[in-house]
């Protein structure tokens, strides 16, 4: 059992060696490493596709002047029909293709069309851009200008074979192809999106709102969670039920609890306002999610309400693993309850508290659904994440939305730097 | 300050305010009566009953004395309305008030002398008060919203507008009570949303487990270059915000025609849950005794054989908790479903509920939708709570 292959990560921690490995990277170790990568491969590929690729894409998009409407691809459109139905052999009719460029702004190059051509339909004169061979009509239209339209008509004489087959020419859909440039793929880059985002007077407010929401929400959830853990950190009947109950806000779907709070706090028909008025605490109903700066405070309190269970759970788990001998010794020395909490419990909890703080800080910073459902980002509650949605979908400026997303990502990188510095010290991750 | 004759009335007064507020909410919500606390009188009652709790140890006598104090100080109107309005409900409320004041206060103050206190006694009383307050406060803030959610779904729009505080159940309506629920299923296509959500959530769980079990095993047990980096990257990916990814995914899906398809959702959901699952599972795998696996290897099993025949059966509890957690994430997911699905026939439950949030749809339908979305996950969670809490904390909290 030799410990070969030093693999001191930044944390300097090694996992326990489960099997005997020969010194240096022997064949067994190599095989193990191969197996490990093999086991991880599906995960790595899927994560790369759905997480790394979009992360790179967001940088690309943020430097593009594109709108929601530009996402619809520019395509050559066609509508095919037979004018004048042939009834007997030798009847003349016209096969008509209505051709159109779907975009009014962008040209399409090298437009081609391929369609099935039924037997027994003989063209009188064929457009020079088209040819019929082996039951297929193929046309080459060259380049189309923006908004290009054309009616391509082919005069035909019907033969018996066509009448017998009963083919409807509209059954086969013509295949159109063409090269349309998309702004998304052009090699033109601009800082316009970033300038628009940073220049706007709103940006300072968005930053302030994000900071308030994140800091107060995180600290609040930690403190409230700790209080809940403190009162449940003793065994009594019904403790399990209470613990389950306290987790409700976290487990329920955000959509359900957010709409419930909106209903509860509604200024016109909400029970909470009615209750306050009846208790003579206020004289007129309060618009909790509609007035500045109350809306921001309300969404932050909602955030605390919804996420205190998580810190409660982790802190309680840590509390229950603290050795009780210590407290007994403290009791002997005559320590008071507050002293025991301050000098004994708190230092023991510091590790989990700092980890929870960092985790919750990052997650609160990233939070989108809650505010979006409660206020839609109105009344001074627009955080960075809500701003991404606002720019991209409400103003339909995808590029600007991506620019805000890049700002979020940059903040996140900074956080994770801190995160790993603290994590590796406190919990040895 | 640290004197029994000071602490008892102060804590009594504070506790009295706590109880009277809770009881007012309870009475108003269950009967619709225009009850309200008389603040000054409540303070007085608290002071008096705090004193009683200090001296009187006999429970019946204490509650009886509390009753007398409450009725006398409030001039026979403990809830600010005459006692002959709904006398049964008010009588019950009165009893609860007297017991709720005397009994907890006795627990908080019963061991205190009516004299100067030492630091230990003083802080003990405060801790007891805060604990009591905590139970009441947390239970109230958690239960009230869910109670309102359920009750609103059972009321008519007019009844609620008339008195937003009246959540009493109109038993005489019979099955009509559940009208908003049946309408959601008949008129709003909720059966299909429910089915879609169940399908998507279960598929997400299966795909997540399929990918994360081998991955977690590799990170936890096998030795390879980049192992430490890998376990950190998992956490890092765990932190990438969905809204940042949602935009490029929206753009990409629009181009490839995957937007508005459940297949598209099934491509993303598992990837958002795989890092969580990987993280939780590798924590659990590390905790399993390696000796059992070594024995398996000695007996001629291959690595994959060891995983299948030894590790997996041993980690069934962890698999259960990870499945539950992933199911919860997929079931509750809103953002992606909201952005990527436009076609009402393909909505998931959360997307369907968000559709009900419009001024044309009555509130009780929205709340009934919320109940339908909440109930299954709650039932699952309460049934498997032990797994859930273990699983959630197992991943990162050690010792």
Query: DSSP label at A281?
Result: S
Q: Which residue of A has its CA nearest to B369?
A: A256
pLDDT digits 0-9 by tens, A122-150: 888 888 888 888 888 888 888 888 888 88
Token digits of residue B83: 């006692």
Contact A10 B244 (CB under 8 A): no
Which pLDDT tens digit goes with each residue over B89-127? 999 999 999 999 999 999 999 888 888 888 888 999 999
Distance CA A371, CA B2 (A): 45
Question: Residue B80: exposed, middle, or buried by beta-carbon count in 10 A (0-12, 13-18, 19+)?
Answer: middle
CB contact under 8 A, B223 and A33: yes
Question: Which tokens sit at A389?
Answer: 């949605």
Is a pLDDT exceeding 80 seen at residue A117?
yes
Rg (CA), chain B: 29
- Cβ–Cβ gap A35/B222 under 8 Å: yes
Q: Which of A9, A242, A244 sits opposite B382 (nearest CB)?
A: A244
Which pTM does this prediction carry?
0.85
Contact: A54, B385; criterion CB under 8 Å: no
CA distance linking residue B132 with residue B128, whole number of Å: 6
CA distance A231 to chain B (A): 5
Structure-token pair, residue A35 = 């197996």
Chain A interface disruption, residue of B38, B135, B145, B338, most A CBs within 10 A: B145
* Higher pLDDT pick, A11 / A281: A281
Q: In Å, what is the CA distance from B296 to each residue of A18, A118, B285, B290, B319?
A: 12, 69, 16, 10, 21
- Return all residues near B361 (Cβ < 8 A) that are at least 6 apart: none
For the cut 80, the answer to whether the pLDDT of residue A89 exceeds it is yes
Mean of pLDDT values over B320-334 = 91
Predicted confidence (pLDDT) per residue in B239-254, tens digit: 888 888 888 898 888 8
Query: What average pLDDT is seen over chain A?
Result: 84
Residue B302: list chain A partners with CB under 8 A.
Answer: none
Chain A and chain B share a number of CB contacts under 8 A equal to 324
Under a CB-based contact definition with an 8 Å cutoff, are residues B49 and B101 in contact?
A: yes
- CB half-sphere exposure, A82, CA atoms < 13 A: 21
- What is the percentage of chain A residues whose pLDDT exceeds 90? 26
Confidence of residue B394 (pLDDT cuts 50, 70, 90): low
Residue linked to tokens 């239960």: B143
Is the pLDDT score of A22 beyond 60? no
Distance from CA of B351 to the nearest CA of A (A): 9
Which residues in B lie closer than 8 A to residue A420 (C-beta atoms)?
232
Please count the other Cβ atoms lying within 10 Å of the Cβ belonging to residue B43.
Answer: 19
pLDDT at B100: 94
pLDDT at A384: 93
């Amino acid at each position: 059992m030799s410990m070969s292959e030093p693999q001191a990560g930044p944390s300097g921690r090694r996992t326990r060696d489960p099997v005997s490995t020969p010194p240096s990277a022997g064949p067994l170790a190599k095989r193990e490493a191969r197996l490990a990568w093999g086991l991880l491969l599906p995960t790595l590929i899927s994560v790369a596709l759905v997480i790394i690729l979009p992360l790179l894409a967001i940088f690309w998009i943020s430097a593009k002047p594109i709108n929601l409407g530009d996402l619809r691809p520019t395509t050559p459109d066609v509508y095919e029909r037979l004018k004048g139905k042939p009834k007997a052999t030798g009847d003349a009719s016209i096969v008509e293709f209505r051709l159109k460029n779907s975009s009014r702004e962008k040209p399409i190059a090298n437009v081609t069309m391929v369609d099935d051509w039924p037997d027994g339909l003989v063209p009188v004169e064929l457009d020079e851009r088209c040819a019929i061979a082996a039951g297929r009509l193929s046309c080459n239209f060259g380049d189309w200008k923006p908004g290009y339209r054309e009616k391509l008509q082919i005069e035909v004489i019907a033969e018996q074979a066509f009448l017998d087959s009963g083919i409807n020419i509209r059954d086969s859909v013509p295949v159109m192809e063409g090269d349309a440039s998309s702004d998304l793929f052009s090699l033109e880059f601009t800082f316009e999106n970033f300038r628009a985002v940073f220049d706007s007077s709103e940006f300072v407010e968005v930053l302030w709102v994000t900071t308030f929401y994140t800091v107060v929400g995180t600290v609040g959830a930690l403190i409230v969670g700790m209080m809940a853990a403190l009162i449940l950190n003793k065994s009594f009947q019904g403790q399990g039920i209470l613990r389950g109950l306290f987790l409700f806000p976290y487990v329920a779907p955000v959509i359900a609890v957010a709409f419930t709070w909106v209903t509860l706090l509604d200024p016109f028909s909400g029970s909470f306002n009615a209750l306050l008025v009846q208790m003579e605490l206020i004289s007129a109903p309060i618009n909790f999610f509609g007035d500045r700066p109350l809306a921001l405070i309300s969404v932050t309190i909602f955030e605390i309400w919804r996420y205190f269970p998580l810190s409660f759970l982790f802190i309680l788990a840590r509390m229950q693993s603290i050795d009780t001998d210590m407290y007994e010794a403290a009791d002997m020395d005559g320590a008071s309850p507050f002293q025991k909490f301050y000098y004994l419990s708190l230092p023991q909890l510091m590790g989990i508290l700092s980890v929870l703080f960092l985790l919750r800080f990052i997650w609160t910073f990233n939070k989108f659904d809650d505010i979006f459902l409660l206020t839609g980002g109105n009344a001074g509650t627009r955080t960075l994440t809500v701003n991404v949605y606002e720019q991209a979908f409400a103003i339909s400026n995808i590029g600007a939305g991506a620019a805000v997303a890049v700002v979020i990502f940059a903040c996140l990188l900074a956080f994770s730097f801190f995160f790993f510095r603290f994590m590796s010290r406190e919990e040895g991750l | 300050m640290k004197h029994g004759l000071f602490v008892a009335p102060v804590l009594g007064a504070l506790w009295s305010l706590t109880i009277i507020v809770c009881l007012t909410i309870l009475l108003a919500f269950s009967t619709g009566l225009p009850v309200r606390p008389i603040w000054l009188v409540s303070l007085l009652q608290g002071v008096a009953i705090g004193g009683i709790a200090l001296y009187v140890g006999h429970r019946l006598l204490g509650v009886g004395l509390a009753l007398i104090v409450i009725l006398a100080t409030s001039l026979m109107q403990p809830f600010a309305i005459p006692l002959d309005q709904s006398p049964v409900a008010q009588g019950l409320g009165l009893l609860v008030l007297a017991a709720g004041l005397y009994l907890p206060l006795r627990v908080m103050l019963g061991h205190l002398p009516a004299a100067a206190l030492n630091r230990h006694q003083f802080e003990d009383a405060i801790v007891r008060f805060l604990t009591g307050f905590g139970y009441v406060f947390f239970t109230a803030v958690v239960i009230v919203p869910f109670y309102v959610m359920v009750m609103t779904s059972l009321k008519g729009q007019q009844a609620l507008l008339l008195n937003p505080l009246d959540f009493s159940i109109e038993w005489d309506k019979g099955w009509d009570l559940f009208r908003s629920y049946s309408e959601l299923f008949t008129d709003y296509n909720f059966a299909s949303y429910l089915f879609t959500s169940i399908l998507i959530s279960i598929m997400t769980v299966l795909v997540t487990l399929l990918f994360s079990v081998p991955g977690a095993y590799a990170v936890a047990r096998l030795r390879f270059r980049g192992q430490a980096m890998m376990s950190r990257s998992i956490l890092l990916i765990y932190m990438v915000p969905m809204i940042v990814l949602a935009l490029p995914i929206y753009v990409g899906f629009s181009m490839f025609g995957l937007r508005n398809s459940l297949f598209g959702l099934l491509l993303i959901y598992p990837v958002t849950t795989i890092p969580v699952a990987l993280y939780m599972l590798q924590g659990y795998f590390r905790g399993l005794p390696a000796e059992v696996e070594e024995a398996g290897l000695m007996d001629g099993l291959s690595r994959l054989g060891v995983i299948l025949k030894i590790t997996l059966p041993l980690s069934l509890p962890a698999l259960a908790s990870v499945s539950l957690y992933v199911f919860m994430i997929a079931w509750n997911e809103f953002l992606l479903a909201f952005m990527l699905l436009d076609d009402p026939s393909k909505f998931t439950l959360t997307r369907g509920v968000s559709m009900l949030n419009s001024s044309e749809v009555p509130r009780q339908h929205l709340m009934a939708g919320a109940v339908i979305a909440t109930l299954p996950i709650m039932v699952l969670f309460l049934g498997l709570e032990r797994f859930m809490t273990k699983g959630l904390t197992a991943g990162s909290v050690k010792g």
